[in-house]
Structure 1
Amino acid sequence: MKNLATIKTANLLSMFIILFSALAFVTSCSDDDNDEITEATTDDDNTDDDTTSDIELIINDYLQIATGQVTLYDNDGEVLSSVNEGEDFYGQDATYLKGAAMSYTDNGDGTVTDNNTGLMWQQVPSTENYTWSDAGTYCDDLEFADYDDWRMPTAKELFSISDFESGWPYLDTDFFTLASGEVTKDEQYWVNNHYVGVTVEGGSDAAFGVNHVTGHIKAYSASASGPIGGKYVRAVRGGDYGTNDYTDNGDGTISDNNSGLMWAQDDDGVTLDWEDALAYAESSNKATYTDWRLPNVKELQSIVDYSYSPTATDSENVGPAIDPLFSCTQLSSDVQEAGYDDDYGYYWTGTSAPFTSGEPYYYAWYVAFGRAVNDEGEDFHGAGAVRFDTKDEDGPAGEDAERYYNYIRLVRDIN
């Protein structure tokens, strides 16, 4: 059950962020070069005689959105009433409640506006299964709710509306409708990120999708069609959300000026289970900072760069799925001999997950900056995939249970 006090605190924080952004807009109107906030011009096709001009304020900064997870868990998925600093499992997602609380407006015309990002979403997606290319065409041709500038979302945009408090579905169904109308693992939605690498299923023609029910981001065969291989799509319209603006601070840290997050430039070459990863992050004093933590799943996904992959067909794109300003430890030779040549690891987040609906949260989410592999070490779901695994070696095995010891990418707030 959600803690009312923490929810109110998160909502107040969200309101402060929005008010601060509005104040920044007012004070910067006279600066023609300001690109932090832009005002869309009125489209005469989107108005009628009975309405005023429809002017949308789009905030381009990469405002981080909360995951929605406000419950604390241990390795066995048991709910913890509280965890104090220095105790086991301190530092997980619900310890910090980072990000602006999710906030939406039902516009009453089949669209939903995200009050944090400014993006407008199709409330009820098409029930048709598309190939990746056809999904893009559908969005580009869509004329709906008096708008004709719909498009296919990016992975970062679609992932921003994921809700990790309860899962199955990982979506606020008070505002968004599932395409099938059922809670099924087939609720997979295309995003516009075509995979630069090669997967077992899609070969050199794979693209990413977000599963609104299981919560994953995975690459699928872009040309697959029909009820088995095709995917749904949820159209979006609005400004440019989800771009990074990095600064190398010269001290082993990288700042993302758009998200307001500072990242460790490397991963220290350390692999740990989930509980120890939390403790490791809390005790770090890298670059003299002492407020490092394990990122939540939305924060870590925010630095994925989908233009890189260890299996990229273009040599300029070969590498882990992250900006080259960062470094990732290559997997050790003994692992590579098992079929992981030229590969990179998975990175823990502080966000817990159930294996399926109603089960304990004995899994935790990770981001694959190297290949998201199958049992044979082949690139199955693509570098940049977001999946989960059991939190320690003694945890219950299940789907994709392969790596219990993963890397840590430290994060802290710039301000």
Structure 2
Amino acid sequence: MNAIRKVLLSFTLIGALLPAFAVAATTPDTDFTDNSDGTVTHKPTGLIWQRCAVGQIWDGVSCTGNAEKYNWDSPVNPPASFAGKNDWRVPNIAELQTLTERDNYSPGINSRYFSDVKGEFRSSSLSKNRSIWFVLFGLGYTDTSDRSIFNVGVIRLVRGGQAIDPLHDEYTPTSAFADHGDGTVIHKSTGLIWQRCAIGQTWTAGACNGVAADYTWAQAKALSSNAANKNDWRLPTPNELATIVEYQSISPAINSIIFANTPVALFWSSTPYALTSLHNAWMVDFLNGSLGHRPKDNRYKVRLVRNNPILTELAASAINLQANAFSAVETSAQFTGGIAVNGANYSRYLSHPMQQGDGVTVSGTITPDAKHIGQQADIIVVGASETIKDPQAIITPDDCDLQKGEWTWYMNTKRNNLYCNWSALPGQERYCHTPKSATAQAYWQLWKGNPYELAALDSVTLAKDTPIDLTISGRGALYQDDVDYYHKHVCINFGYRLKDGTIVFNRDSINFRTD
């Protein structure tokens, strides 16, 4: 039975991706969770930060004492353990600059959660010419400094996120993007869709041709585009634009396979510089990737971006059940799916925990295997839940290993059956949630993991070019509720079952947790 579970709900990691960075130009209080131990969790990235700089002391209320200063060669000796964890490290530059408050200055950081320490904050990253990357949180700059003169660096430690070697690994590898074949790509770690060419260039014959145009900031803000038959293109925020900087490259500091023929030039962002907002705006210099501000009347390049309103692609698998045995079979079926919190964009998993009262929606679509068109099929939806023992654990895409941990299994057995607190309650062991209506059978039922006993959510006839739409506007979402349960980690899989016992399902589980 464990083998069947493993096949039915197995999980494959999608590449080595960078953390999903914030797409807003500021870091509001709502972006952070105070862990009440001198650390905060940055919800857009899932990273956990120490509130004090190295050398300061957390007294339970605030940071006291002076921050220590480091040059590049100075060893960093953080406490062996802080907040019960011993895996603290110096952040790389892509991580460090996500804390920059673009809508403020002196300090250019959220002062409610972080101590106002003056000076340059050192990262663990070196530029292509071996200079040190740093963030000046007083003004919000991101830049480099020659190692021989860098001797005043302050350090703030971090844990979690995708482990990379900041001296050698690419920050934006080609595998981190999916090519749409129309001159646009999606950045998997952020969900943002980018035009591959700067404005003025033309995407033809698989390349950006022509000369990129120059615009004042006001002209750049007013630009429109119908690239890839979409009309919601816009100027990126500085934090968004920084997510496509390749810190291991120079001239240009960008992935030149994905963004071919990028000019070595400054590119506008959408955000004015807070100190002189009437006159200056943020920009990124793709000579080396530095981020600063310039007068709005200057003329620079533009690359447009749009949000990704669609669901994430999920890998598909299939098995055939016959006479108490099963075998893997090939399939051409395609799946998309994801989780959205409080109406935000969908993503396959959440690296940070949801909070009480957050509204969550899990949706999906299934494009059937061409061999199955015209057949009757049962829609099946399965959830697995476990109690989180480490409240500061960080969720990663491969955390739905259902052979580890203590999981409780559920199956969704009726249309519009959305609600679940993922806890079997006394006297209602069959159901996942205290009924929100008079019909208890309308809710998720416990499942013992036997695929032969898997009840169907619905029955459909598989049609050509007509995906099974498991969204609110389609046949109904896979799951929708306001979070009112604590310390749960949930993985959801879905698919369809044919009369001959073939089950086609998403191998990549949709994955989230709650505080």
**TM surpasses 0.5:** yes
1:405 aligns with 2:299: yes
Aligned equivalents of 1:101 and 1:290: distance in 2? 32
Question: Among residues 132, 138, 161, which one is paired with 2:77 in the alignment?
Answer: 138
State the match for 2:241 in structure 1.
Answer: 300
Matched, 1:235 2:235: no
Q: 1:328 to 1:351 in 2, by over 3 A?
A: farther
Partner letter of residue 82 of structure 2?
A: F
On the 8 A contact 2:172/2:255 being kept in 1, the answer is: no
Aligned residue number for residue 68 of structure 1: 26
Q: How does 1:47-126 map to 2 (within 5 A)?
A: 62-68=20-26, 102-126=30-54
Measure how far apart 1:132 and its partner are.
2.4
SS in structure 1 at match of 2:235:
coil
Equivalence for 1:387: 292
Does 2:90 align with 1:152? yes
Change (3 A) 1:172 1:145: same
Structure-to-structure mapping, 1:247-258, within 5 angstroms? 247-258=178-189
Counterparts in 2 of 1:102 and 1:390: CA distance versus 1, 3 Å: farther
Partner of 1:324: 257
User: Could you tell me whether the CA contact under 8 Å between 2:39 and 2:83 is conserved in 1?
Assistant: yes
Q: CA RMSD in A?
A: 2.9
* Aligned length in residues: 271
* 1:369-404 CA distance string (max 9 Å, x none): 11xxxxxxxxxxxx0100100100xxxxxxxxxxx1
How far off its partner does 1:120 sit? 1.2
* 1:364 equivalent in structure 2: 281
**Residue matched to 2:452:** none
Counting only pairs closer than 5 Å after superposition, residues 204-219 of structure 1 correspond to structure 2 as 205-219=130-144
How far is 1:158 from its partner?
Answer: 1.5
Going by fraction, where is helix more abundant, 1 or 2?
1
Measure the CA separation in 2 of the matches of 1:292 and 1:351: 16
Deviates more, 1:29-38 or 1:160-169: 29-38
Code of the residue aligned with 2:218 in structure 1: it is E
Asked if 1:350 is matched to 2:282, the reply is no
Structure 1 residues 110 and 61 mapped into 2: Cα distance closer, same or farther (>3 Å)?
closer
Q: Which has the higher contact order (CA 8 A, sep 6+)?
A: 1
In structure 2, distance between residues paired with 1:223 and 1:143: 31
2:253, 2:286 within 8 Å by CA — same for their partners in 1? Answer: yes
Q: Identity of counterpart residues, as a percentage?
A: 28
Q: Which moved more, 1:260-269 or 1:29-38?
A: 29-38
In the TM superposition, residue 30 of structure 1 has moved relative to its aligned partner by 7.0
TM-superposed deviation, 1:237:
0.6
Confirm or deny: 8 A CA contact 1:278 1:294 kept in the other structure: yes
Whether contact under 8 Å (2:25, 2:103) holds in the other structure is yes
Structure 2 letter corresponding to 1:386: L
- How far residue 36 of structure 1 moved from its aligned partner, in angstroms, is 6.7
1:350 match: secondary structure: strand
Task: Please say if 1:414 is aligned against 2:308.
Answer: yes
Cα distance in 1, alignment partners of residues 110 and 136 from structure 2? 13
Cα drift, residue 163 of structure 1:
1.7
Contact 2:40–2:49, Cα closer than 8 Å, also in 1: yes
Q: Secondary structure at the match of 1:217?
A: strand
Deviations 1:155-185 (A, max 9, x none): 22112222222222111111100234xxxxx
- Give the distance between the partners of 2:101 and 2:109, measured in 1 at CA: 5
Q: CA deviation at 1:115?
A: 2.9
Aligned-pair distance for 1:258? 2.2
Give TM-score scaled by structure 2 length: 0.48
Q: CA 1:32–1:107 in structure 2 vs 1: closer, same or farther (change >3 Å)?
A: same
8 A Cα contact 1:284 1:292, kept in partner: yes
How far residue 108 of structure 1 moved from its aligned partner, in angstroms, is 2.7
Please name the residue that 1:93 is paired with: none
Change (3 A) 1:153 1:243: farther
Structure 1 runs (4+) greater than 6 angstroms displaced: 241-244
Cα distance, 1:323–1:191 mapped onto 2, change above 3 Å: farther
- Matched AA of 1:350: S
Deviation at 1:31, TM superposition (A): 4.0
Q: Distance in 2 between matches of 1:368 and 1:142?
A: 38
1:193-204 aligned within 5 A: 193-197=125-129
User: CA 1:36–1:101 in 2, change beyond 3 Å: closer, same or farther?
Assistant: farther
**1:30/1:272 Cα in 2 relative to 1: closer, same or farther (>3 Å)?**
same
In structure 2, distance between residues paired with 1:352 and 1:302: 18
Tell me the equivalent position of 1:221. Answer: 146
SS of 2:220's equivalent? helix
- Tell me which structure has the larger Cα radius of gyration: 2
- Please state how far the C-alpha of 1:307 moved relative to its aligned partner: 1.1
1:265–1:288 distance in 2 versus 1, CA, 3 Å: same
- Aligned to 1:160, what secondary structure does the other structure show? helix
Distance 2:193 2:101 in 1: 24
The answer as to 2:116 corresponding to 1:178 is yes
Instruction: Provide the C-alpha distance between the structure 1 equivalents of 2:33 and 2:8, rounded to a whole number of angstroms.
Output: 30
- What CA distance in whole angstroms lies between the structure 2 residues aligned with 1:131 and 1:412? 40
Q: Structure 1 residues 116, 252: CA separation in 2 closer, same or farther (over 3 Å shift)?
A: closer
The answer (yes or no) to whether the contact 1:305–1:322 under 8 Å persists in 2 is: yes
TM-score between both structures, scaled by the size of structure 1: 0.59
Could you tell me which residue of structure 1 aligns to residue 315 of structure 2? Answer: none
Could you say which residue in structure 2 is the equivalent of 1:35?
13
Change (3 A) 1:360 1:309: closer
SS in 2 for 1:134: coil
Structure 1 letter corresponding to 2:295 = T
> Would you say the 8 A contact 1:322–1:369 is kept in 2?
no
Bigger strand share: 2
Q: CA deviation at 1:111?
A: 1.6
Contact 1:247-1:255 at 8 Å conserved across structures: yes
| Aligned counterpart in structure 1 of residue 68 of structure 2, from 122, 125, 128 | 128
